[in-house]
Amino acid sequence: MKKRSAPARRARPSGAGGERVRGGPAGKVRRDEVAESGPSQKLQKVLAQAGLGSRRDMELLIASGRVAVNGAPAVIGARVGPRDQIKVAGRLIHASSETRLPRVLLYHKPEGEIVSRDDPRGRPSVFERLPAITGAKWIAIGRLDFNSCGLLIFTTSGELANRMMHPRFEIEREYAVRVMGHLQPQHLQQLTQGIELEDGPAHCESVAMGGGEGANQWCHVVLRDGRNRIVRRMFEKLGFTVSRLMRVRYGNLALPPRIKRNQCYELSADETQRLLAWLDAVAQEPQEPREQRRPNRDARA
């Protein structure tokens, strides 16, 4: 009698960590797919950690169909693990682990450089001065215009950059400002009480007067507003020309005196951990509605 052979074992479909799971719409990686080994994370978070942009940017990128996981088009909310192959527009992305810290770079920008990778006028770019990096890209946290100088922060984490720049958290920026002319007490009061600009009111949290020579006078201003050319526009509204503008602090990061123009300094692991802990604390602070906030009127002359 002929011996019956054992039935072939059906291949068990794996999650996002193995072969593509069939049965979903058009074979796409489903939301509930989990890697076979190792912790899984949401795809948009992994892409943001890889330095490709904010989570919101990554959701738009996934929705555009340009992201694939293990050869299948991905959807927003899909989970991926260490064994998954992630590609964006055909380029392989190396997912960082949950515990891997982002890189954070402080750069002393001089006047005469643009904060952009692509300038039709061919002006020097700050990105030309940054150290080379593989598997990610440097993301600028905030900007300084062509004629401004001082502290610029770069990171490989789109999530960290978004937390530092998001208007909801109102991170402080401090500037050393040199103006042509002499500021009077009424000008300081206007700066802290508020000035109406073409795109809405703006005010300084504080103004501290400094020294000066001849027609030039220095002061330090602190703002929580990151709008384009906001400091220059406020002083112009008062009738003053800003002859030099230097950012000296962003949040809890100050420009170290030892960093000369065109030089960089990368935060250590301990310094990065302190920055992340500080951002967590900021995120947990209760946020008052903007219209209920009273600007600081204690301008120091």
Q: How far apart are CA 159 and CA 45, in angstroms?
A: 8
Residue 280 annotated as catalytic: no
Task: Check: CB of residue 223 under 8 Å from CB of residue 205.
Answer: yes
Angle at 226 between CA 243 and CA 213, to 5 degrees: 20
Task: Check: CB of residue 160 under 8 Å from CB of residue 102.
Answer: yes
Q: How far apart are CA 51 and CA 54, in angstroms?
A: 8
Q: How far apart are CA 169 and CA 167, in angstroms?
A: 5
From 145, 225, 280, 298, the catalytic residue: 145
Q: How far apart are CA 296 and CA 45, in angstroms?
A: 37
Task: Check: CB of residue 69 under 8 Å from CB of residue 28.
Answer: no
Strand partners, 114: 125
Name the DSSP class of 29: B
Q: How far apart are CA 148 and CA 207, in angstroms?
A: 19
Query: How many C-beta neighbours within 10 Å does residue 149 have?
Result: 20
Q: How far apart are CA 263 and CA 259, in angstroms?
A: 6
Cite the active site residues.
Answer: 145
